[in-house]
Homo-oligomer: A and B are copies of this chain.
Amino acid sequence: MAASMWTKLFDRMVGSFLHRGTLIIQLVDGTVLRYGDGQPPEVRVAFHDEDLPRRLLFSPEIVMGEGYMDGTITVENDDLHGLLQVLLGNFPEGAGTWPGLLRMFRKIATPILQFNPTGKARRNVAHHYDLSGEMYELFLDTDKQYSCAYFRTPEVTLEEAQAAKKAHIAGKLLLEPGMKVLDIGCGWGGMALTLARDYGVQVLGVTLSTEQHKVATERAAAAGLSDRVEFRLTDYRNVRETFDRIVSVGMFEHVGAPHYREYFRHMKKLLNPDGVALIHTIGRFSPPGSTSPWITKYIFPGGYCPALSETMAAVEREGLVETDVEIWRLHYAETLRHWQMRFEANIDKVRALYDDRFCRMWRFYLVASEMSFRYGGQCVFQIQLARRQEAVPLTRDYLYVPEARAALRAAE
């Protein structure tokens, strides 16, 4: 097919869905394509490779991400937010509205294999989390919380919102001093250290990242908490003890749908009969389906964004009892906005660690993720689970009403 034929097909495809906002694309030969209703945001994009229209048809997300990384796609004023708003904002939230043609291409282009034995899990984790620790300090909060913060109002700082997230999760865990807590996917240890310090519990944190394990262990020693917190470089499936509480924040995204039953089966085994667990994970409003192929290729190999239906199906089959499901909307968009602002403020330091392509890749990751929470039907699920329904109070008052919390403590 001649290049012009591919361009025509590309033009038709974009024209078929892009009705809100304005997108102007300049091709290599100087042709200008216009889409949308002429309303803001108006975004101007230049293609510097004549094969882009064809390649975008077959694999829109990968090629757009790579094009931005490689500089074959440039955006006027580097307005990635505007570009992704125009692209994602044209798909109504929720399910089943991705236009047929694009959906077909998407399906062809994204055969995701989520085969995830412990060895592969470790390699997937190393890909992302073993980046220089310094790198994460350049955009995360001071506690290095690499998951969605809790913004009671948009005005709070990232540090406050991350502290609020940890407190909210601690509330759902119904902690009592001396309890044994397992933190699956403990990151750089912030959650485990906070729970041990503020709630007097014993924590085992497990991670597959050598870098995280090293940093977390050092932090425990520095905080004088080594007697109450242990970090172990291992797969949660290798843990043999049992626990009163289990917390797993930002780890379920790496499990993959074919392994959900295995995940909850292990969780049940690891949990004492009166135990309570809290899973905090990115989720989707739309039906089970593929995760962004660009994200899977460059950022999180093996990553998968669950729908509530498939998550709960595994919970039900493994005989756990769901006791609360909170759905956080827009909190992660705010979190990512903060991360990107810090990233840009430290861009010179990032460039000292990695090359320019890495910087563009990371920017694309942060902005695309933010916009997918604003317009792409992504959210965060906090799923509280137990083995017995009596393990959790009758109402959710204990999470919000100080008197209810106090009554609970008095009853211990």
Residue numbers of A with Cβ under 8 A of B are 92-97, 150-153, 285-288, 307-310, 312-313, 315-327, 329-331, 377, 379, 387-390, 392, 394-397, 399-401
Contacts and interface: CB of A to CB of B under 8 A. Distances in A.
Given A93-B389, A388-B93, A323 B327 contact: yes
21 contacts: A93-B387, A93-B389, A94-B318, A95-B318, A150-B395, A152-B395, A285-B320, A288-B316, A307-B312, A308-B325, A309-B309, A309-B313, A309-B315, A312-B312, A322-B327, A323-B327, A323-B329, A325-B325, A330-B390, A331-B394, A400-B401
Closest 6 CB pairs of A and B: A400-B400, A94-B319, A325-B325, A309-B313, A329-B389, A309-B312
A320 B94 contact: yes
The interface centre, meaning the residue of A151, A152, A319 with most chain B CB atoms within 10 A of its CB, is A319
Contacts of A92: 319
Contacts of A325: 308, 324-327
B95 A330 contact: no
A317 B95 contact: yes
A322 to B, nearest CB: 6
A396 B326 contact: yes
A187 to B, nearest CB: 23
Contacts of A153: 394
A396 to B, nearest CB: 7
A319 B307 CA distance: 12
Contacts of A377: 321
Given A93-B321, A327-B323, A312 B308 contact: yes
Contact of A330 (B93, B322, B389, B400): B389
A316 B390 CA distance: 30
A95 B264 CA distance: 12
